[in-house]
Amino acid sequence: MTLIRKLLTVYAMSVMLGGWFTAHAATLPQLPQKQVDVTMPIVTGSTLSATCATLQTQLNAVTKLNINLTHQVILATNTTCTGPYILPSHTGGTGWVLIKGSNYASLPPSGTRVKLSDATLMPKIKYGERDEGAFTHVGAFSAQTGAQRYRIIGIDMVQDSTLSTNWAMVVTGYGNQNALNTGYIILDRVVIRDTNPGHETIRGVQGDAQLGHTALIDSYVAGIKDVGMDNDSQAWLSISNPGPILVQNNFLEASGENLMLGGGDPMSAAVHPKDVTIRRNTFSKNQAWWGGGNTLTKTLLELKLGVRVLIEGNDFFNMPWNDGGYAFRLTVRNQDGSAPYSEVSDLTIRHNLFKNITNGIIAFGADDAGPSNLSKRSKRWHIHNNLFYGLGSLCGGGAACGGWIIIQEGGTSCTDPGPNSNCELSDLTIAHNTVDDINEYMFYVLNTNQTGLDFRDNLINVNGGRGIFSEALWGTTFLSTHYGGTWRFINNRLAAIGGGEETALYPKGTNSYPVDHTDFLWTNRAARNYTLQAGSPAKNAASDGADQGVDFSKYNAARATSISGGSDSSDISAPHPPQQLRIPTTN
């Protein structure tokens, strides 16, 4: 038999055996190619002291000094100022402008997340929008055209409840002012908050910048919400920002989307968000919003745009049933019809903890907005080494609860001719995840035109829910119908598949389907310790020789912190108290 005939025979046998080997495995995404440099600049120039009344004057003055030196403006800590303040044009040199409180040295060190109690060490700036209808919105700090190389450190920004809606506490670029040529703006150990339940702050940071290099690090953002069910709200939002973007080691709380890329059309393809790193943050919803009421509550993280996005080592907690209760929405969107280049591609989601959430991830492979709003399709997503538990634990309001991953249809844009002729999500890898408490569905796909699925090495307690299915299809029939010959399903251990499905119809080979999660020999499920005991059949049973499910050595290394204050409960149903976390600086 010739070599070619042998290869063809092996391929045919693999298909008959349920896809344990196929000719096509998913292509993995690229990681971000650029990172924000958050190294603290050394002051080499002047120090200017400011009061509330003189802060803007001093900001204007510091930009007239030697632009190749780093200067600082010190605001007295025992002050309560009323914004807005403008970051003036500062371009053409290598020096930075540092804006600090006078008690800066008493703050937790650089690389440590601040707590709410640290706000007492900071000067306070109150802000509220004066003329909501005029669209002249600025913030407590707002970048003017040409604003570059600013670092705001240890400032407490809070609502001015005597005024109307805040549209953003900090605006780093375009925002509503459409400032051009901004970038290299870092918010470091700041507090951004709205403490008035009846007051509206739409976003903490409007993170747009024509030059990118924007960051929020080691900070606390809370109470960001709409009032009246008429606006989304975000702790961080970027629409026009070419990257790099860094959101690292923060507590992020907002009623709409705690963090979102998109929600409007970028000003051009050149500023489509790219090279985004979202690392070691805590995402949570305030319990006061769980019942909906007068506040629009949507999701913890949403991507409508984004290329080369890394979501790593975060905690995603307390996503209630409001608006479906999905922790993530990955919904590529040409929002206003002027951005057909929109895409969500080269996405890596790894080493994250998801707990106490109604449902996991909902995604669109293509824009669902119709033929006039076509965008690029999504491609190259890698969801791996994440721990999920407590799915469905915050269920209520008639929502479907306890689902893990669903790939939705994309509306009329899926059937139009042209480059987006279907809802294909190309090259999806789901590997090495540990999932407990599924009560609805594990992996649900509604459109048949998919390409490239690599589903391997997962350890999942389906818990009587449905496994891999679409309407009346499940198992190998589902995979072959939706992915043709472009799927691989190997070394998975799925316990307690229910919903009327027959595990005999699932791919065999290296996969196994025990009747109960006790087969896994988790160390202590009641305490949420999902490491494996000695003798577990999942030990060293993955395709790479590691354990099936989460490789906890990699998971723990990616999330390594030293806790210097605050507290955390491993399983709570009340608002999550942010830890004070110390992490290595990443440049």
Specify whether the CB–CB gap between 448 and 475 falls below 8 A: no
Q: Which residues contact 53 (CB under 8 A, 6 or more apart)?
A: none
CA 209 to chain centre: 19
Specify whether the CB–CB gap between 443 and 467 falls below 8 A: yes
Mean pLDDT of the chain: 86
Strand, coil or helix: 200: coil
Assessment of whether the complete model's pTM goes beyond 0.75: yes
What angle is formed at CA 256 by the lines to CA 250 and CA 258, rounded to 5 degrees?
15
Does 190 reside within a domain? no
Does 533 reside within a domain? yes
d(CA 177, CA 168): 11
Specify whether the CB–CB gap between 433 and 383 falls below 8 A: yes
Q: Which two tokens stand for residue 104?
A: 């800066």
585, exposed or middle or buried, with CB in 10 Å at 0-12, 13-18, 19+?
middle
DSSP letter for each residue of 352-365 = -EEEEESEEEEEES
Does 237 reside within a domain? no
Does residue 29 have a cis peptide bond before it, meaning omega lies within 30 degrees of 0? Answer: no
- Say what the pLDDT of residue 370 is: 61
Q: Count other C-beta atoms under 10 Å from residue 51's C-beta.
A: 13
- Say what the pLDDT of residue 29 is: 97
DSSP category for residue 561? -
- Say what the pLDDT of residue 314 is: 97
Q: Which two tokens stand for residue 33?
A: 């190619």
- Say what the pLDDT of residue 584 is: 40
Q: Which two tokens stand for residue 148?
A: 């570059």
Domain count, the chain: 1
Helix (H) or strand (E) holding 300: strand 299-303
What's the start-to-end Cα distance of the chain, in Å? Answer: 56
Does 171 reside within a domain? no
Does 347 reside within a domain? yes
Specify whether the CB–CB gap between 83 and 125 falls below 8 A: yes
Strand, coil or helix: 427: strand
- Say what the pLDDT of residue 424 is: 74
Does 354 reside within a domain? yes
- Say what the pLDDT of residue 144 is: 94
Q: What does the buried/exposed string (b/e) look like for 78-89 if buried means 16 or more CB atoms within 10 Å of the residue's CB?
A: ebebebbbbbbb
Q: Which two tokens stand for residue 401?
A: 């609860």
Does 325 reside within a domain? yes
**Which tens digit of pLDDT belongs to each residue from 65-76?**
999 999 999 999
Q: Which two tokens stand for residue 201?
A: 């702050």
Residue ranges, the chain, pLDDT below 70: 1-24, 130-137, 175-177, 292, 368-373, 397-399, 409-423, 448, 561-587
- Say what the pLDDT of residue 439 is: 82
- Say what the pLDDT of residue 562 is: 40
Specify whether the CB–CB gap between 237 and 263 falls below 8 A: yes
Q: What does the buried/exposed string (b/e) look like for 329-357 if buried means 16 or more CB atoms within 10 Å of the residue's CB?
A: bbbbbbbeeebbbbbbbbbbbbbbbbbbb
Boundaries of domain holding 332: 298-550
**Which tens digit of pLDDT belongs to each residue from 229-267?**
777 899 999 999 999 999 999 999 999 999 999 999 999
- Tally DSSP H helices, then E strands, for the chain: 4, 44
d(CA 397, CA 226): 20
